[in-house]
């Protein structure tokens, strides 16, 4: 049987060739797994967590591990299990990093290791040598889950996902400081520009870790700010984009209780570190439902609910 010459076969663009017509975003939830974030307050659908394990079993100098005190592994695991359970009860799908080897001691702080966009993840690159390599385990898990990685921060750039926040689907506030440097911020901004998103840059004052610790959102019009720590240009950006800025009243709860290290489950509904009654009453006075969760053992590692949670998907459907 006579066959057509190669240039007329489908493999070479001949008869039978089928052109890929959908955009990458249209393929999410089909060829790729469902994911995507473009606000900080829409209903939370899925998260990435890492249950602390053998990396916390060895006691040592907390400062050498970027922690505030020695963490009791058993109690930390129990509290982390409660966190995963709370998400499940709220209808949020929980994915675990589940590494196959011992990881660096701060691996559980998944918020720093990724920043989700409407089309996939920007993979973080932590600033401290203590945390170097955490991103590899997250990258492996994202690949296994079918979540696209749009950009990996490279060269001398450092970027931690907790330094970026969506003001609206077209605008991201990005903080430069101890954890995110100028090179990393530029790489993030270039990728966002490709997605049609404007990046507004701000800075963090000395003695602060991430933008997340200074700014949280409870709905599309209300932003929580740590008094005296959020830069003037960040405040101006919030007001320009329609946010009322409110400040929790108890500095002690913000500092030792990590009261702002919360996660918004849906508009006017937050998962809040327990033991912060003044902050809880303040939020409830604003019409915000608060689900308090004990994480005091986990906070010894210098983070709480927000830091522990890699946000994978939010949407209003």
Q: Is the pLDDT of residue 3 over 80?
A: no
Please state the domain count of the chain.
1
List, in sequence order, the alpha helices (H) in the chain: 24-27, 73-89, 134-145, 182-194, 232-240, 251-255, 277-285, 305-308
pLDDT of amino acid 5? 83
Q: Is the pLDDT of residue 97 over 70?
A: yes
Q: Measured between alpha carbons, how far is 73 from 54 in angstroms, rounded to an integer? A: 8
Nearest to 310 by CA among 78, 103, 37: 37
pLDDT of amino acid 6? 77
Q: Is the pLDDT of residue 275 over 80?
A: yes
18 in a domain, yes or no?
no
CATH of the domain at 309: 3.75.10.10
71 in a domain, yes or no?
yes
228 CB-contact burial (10 Å; exposed 0-12 / middle 13-18 / buried 19+): exposed
5 in a domain, yes or no?
no
108 in a domain, yes or no?
yes
Using CA atoms, how far residue 134 sits from 49, 50, 79, 316, in Å, is 13, 11, 21, 31
Question: SS3 for 269?
Answer: strand
pLDDT of amino acid 23? 97
- The domain containing residue 77 runs over which residues? 35-314
Q: Is the pLDDT of residue 126 over 80?
A: yes
Residues 88-116, mean pLDDT to the nearest whole number: 97
Report the side by side order of strands in the sheet with 164-168: 164-168, 171-176, 198-203
Residues 19-23, mean pLDDT to the nearest whole number: 96
Place of tokens 């930390």: 76
The values of phi and psi at residue 224, to 5°, are -90, 130
Which positions ≥6 away from 67 have C-beta within 8 Å?
105, 106, 300, 301, 302
pLDDT digits (tens, 9 = 90+) for 134-192: 999 999 999 999 999 999 999 999 999 999 999 999 999 999 999 999 999 999 999 99
Q: Is the pLDDT of residue 4 over 80?
A: no
Q: Is the pLDDT of residue 59 over 80?
A: no
pLDDT digits (tens, 9 = 90+) for 220-249: 999 999 999 999 999 999 999 999 999 999
21 in a domain, yes or no?
no
Position 2 confidence tier, pLDDT thresholds 50, 70, 90: low
164 in a domain, yes or no?
yes
Q: Measured between alpha carbons, how far is 113 from 47 in angstroms, rounded to an integer? A: 12
CB 159 within 8 A of CB 188: yes
Tell me what the pLDDT averaged over the chain comes to.
96
User: What is the distance of C-alpha 228 from the center of its chain?
Assistant: 24
Q: Is the pLDDT of residue 262 over 90?
A: yes
pLDDT of amino acid 317? 67
Q: Is the pLDDT of residue 195 over 90?
A: yes
251 in a domain, yes or no?
yes
pLDDT of amino acid 52? 97
pTM reported for the whole predicted model: 0.96
Q: Is the pLDDT of residue 27 over 60?
A: yes
pLDDT digits (tens, 9 = 90+) for 201-211: 999 998 899 99
15 in a domain, yes or no?
no
Place of tokens 């109690």: 75
CB 273 within 8 A of CB 305: yes
């Amino acid at each position: 049987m006579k066959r057509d010459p190669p240039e007329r076969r489908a493999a070479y663009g001949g008869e039978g060739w089928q052109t890929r017509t959908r955009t990458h975003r249209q393929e999410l939830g089909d060829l790729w797994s469902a994911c995507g974030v473009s606000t900080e307050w829409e209903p939370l659908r899925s998260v990435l967590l890492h249950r602390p394990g053998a990396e916390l079993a060895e006691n040592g100098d907390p400062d050498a591990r970027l922690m505030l005190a020695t963490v009791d592994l058993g109690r930390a695991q129990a509290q982390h299990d409660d966190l995963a359970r709370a998400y499940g009860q709220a209808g949020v799908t929980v994915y675990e990093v589940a590494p196959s080897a011992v990881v660096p001691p701060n691996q559980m702080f998944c918020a720093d290791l990724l920043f989700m966009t409407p089309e996939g993840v920007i993979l973080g690159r932590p600033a401290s040598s203590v945390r170097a390599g955490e991103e590899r385990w997250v990258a492996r898990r994202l690949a296994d889950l079918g979540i696209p990685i749009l950009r990996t921060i490279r060269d001398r750039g450092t970027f931690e996902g907790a330094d970026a926040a969506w003001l609206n689907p077209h605008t991201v506030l990005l903080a430069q400081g101890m954890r995110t440097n100028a090179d990393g911020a530029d790489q993030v901004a270039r990728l966002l520009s490709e997605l049609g998103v404007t990046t507004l840059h701000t800075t963090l004052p000395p003695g602060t870790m991430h933008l997340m610790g200074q700014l949280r959102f409870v709905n599309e019009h209300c932003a929580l700010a740590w008094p005296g720590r959020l830069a003037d240009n960040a405040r101006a950006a919030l007001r320009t984009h329609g946010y009322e800025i409110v400040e929790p009243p108890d500095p002690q709860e913000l500092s030792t209780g990590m009261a702002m290290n919360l996660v918004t489950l849906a508009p006017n509904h937050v998962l809040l570190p327990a033991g912060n009654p003044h902050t809880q009453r303040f939020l409830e006075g604003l019409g915000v439902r608060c689900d308090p969760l004990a994480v005091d053992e986990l906070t010894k590692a210098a983070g709480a609910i927000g830091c522990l949670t890699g946000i994978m998907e939010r949407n209003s459907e």
